[in-house]
Structure 1
Amino acid sequence: MADDRRTQLLDLAYAYVREHGIAEVSLRPLAAAIGSSPRVLLFLFESKDGLIRALLARARTEELALLARLSPAEGLTSAAKLTWEWLSAPEHRPIIRLWAEAYARSLVDAKGPWAGFAESTVTDWLEVLAGAQPPAERDSPDGLLRRTAALALLRGAAMDLLATGDTARTTAAVHRHLP
């Protein structure tokens, strides 16, 4: 029963942080918004850090599931273009905004629930992109460099898109500079 309630509250909390952000989330307003109490959240997640870790894990799981569906066997450039289509879609802005917020926080707060989030994200995305490369390319040093360049381009363009909302310009830049 507690596991069902934990899952239900995690789903509601995830929807809340997608809309309101995660870096400065406060238990009292979050609990009120999702029909719970800070005490119940602390019981189910052990601490505020435990709740944040669970929310970050949930975001990562959703992001990877969505990205994994985009990795065609047609090559890195094709996979990167499909990934950009997903990243730049207006309906995905909340998860990309949440990712950017958690990524940045992880870079400046290497302890607590944020620890390792940015590095894990890089590793996750490189693995997704590797799945689109033929084995000979994937396993070569140049293959890793191409994935890294594609990831840097996608990540930078996503940050730019979040800041400006200029889909046409960022999409044109991504398509022009993909490895």
Structure 2
Amino acid sequence: MTTAGTAPAKDPQRRAAWAELATDYVHEHGLIGLSLRPLAAELGTSNRVLLYHFGTKDQLVADVLRTSNERSVAEVAALAPSEDLRSAVYDLWTVMEGDRCSRIYVEAAALGLFGREPYATAVQDANTLWIAGLIAHLTKSGVDPVVAERAAHVIDAAFMGFQLSLGPDGSLPERRSVDDLADAVAALA
């Protein structure tokens, strides 16, 4: 119940549902240049309703980044254990190659790089969750935990670089890059 002059309590479940739908929209249309009016129209609501639930466009984007990252981490968690460290690179790349979640991350990371909030914090949180997901997959695959942590950071850095090299069709122009990464990471063991 509300009293005069107070707004009703925001619904966290509704906000999470909007974040899921907004994430789907951003996966299709991209993050850079996102406008609330077309997003709201696509979701069958108004930009005012979105702002009510998220507070600001930046906070909505931070929630989209978080939702998108959680989807990628869930894909990694769903992978069967890899045969060895070298094959883990290929298995993990199957999740990343052409993955819209990682493309959104790259766009948000560009904004966060300059310290712009909430992007800087959302990207840092996403990094922490993502690295933990990589380490979990590697250890599930029988990799020593110390090696898994080192390998996860190398894999992550290379994959981010690969994302910047993807062609318009989402494929890596130099497939040999993944082979070279797999060789380098396998040498860590």
Identify the TM-score tier after normalising by the shorter chain: 0.7 to 0.9
Q: Does the 8 Å contact 1:161/1:170 carry over to 2?
A: no
- Of residues 13, 25, 34, the one that matches 2:34 is 25
Match of 1:12 in 2: 21
In structure 2, distance between residues paired with 1:65 and 1:149? 20
Instruction: Flag the structure with higher helix content.
Output: 1
TM-score scaled by length of structure 2: 0.75
Cα 1:99/1:136, change in 2 over 3 Å: closer
- Of residues 68, 80, 94, the one that matches 2:89 is 80
Q: How does 1:1-179 map to 2 (within 5 A)?
A: 2-3=11-12, 5-70=14-79, 72=81, 74-88=83-97, 90=98, 92=99, 94-108=100-114, 110-131=115-136, 132-133=138-139, 137-139=144-146, 143-162=148-167, 165-167=170-172, 169-178=173-182, 179=185
Cα 1:74/1:135, change in 2 over 3 Å: closer
Cα 1:143/1:30, change in 2 over 3 Å: closer
Note the C-alpha offset of 1:44: 1.6
Matched letter for residue 78 of structure 1: S
TM-score scaled by length of structure 1: 0.78
- SS, match of residue 72 in structure 1: coil
Larger radius of gyration: 2
Structure 1 spans left out of the alignment, 5+ residues:
none
Cα 1:57/1:126, change in 2 over 3 Å: closer
In structure 1, distance between residues paired with 2:160 and 2:152? 12
RMSD: 2.8
Count of equivalent residues:
172
In structure 1, distance between residues paired with 2:67 and 2:164? 21
Q: Does the 8 Å contact 2:89/2:181 carry over to 1?
A: no
Q: Does the 8 Å contact 1:80/1:129 carry over to 2?
A: no
- Cα offsets for 1:110-141 (capped at 9, x unmatched): 232202233333333332232214788323xx
In structure 1, distance between residues paired with 2:51 and 2:23? 16
In structure 2, distance between residues paired with 1:152 and 1:138? 18
Structure 2 spans left out of the alignment, 5+ residues:
1-9
Q: Does the 8 Å contact 1:87/1:96 carry over to 2?
A: yes
Work out the percentage of aligned pairs sharing the same amino acid.
Answer: 30
Q: Does the 8 Å contact 1:23/1:105 carry over to 2?
A: no
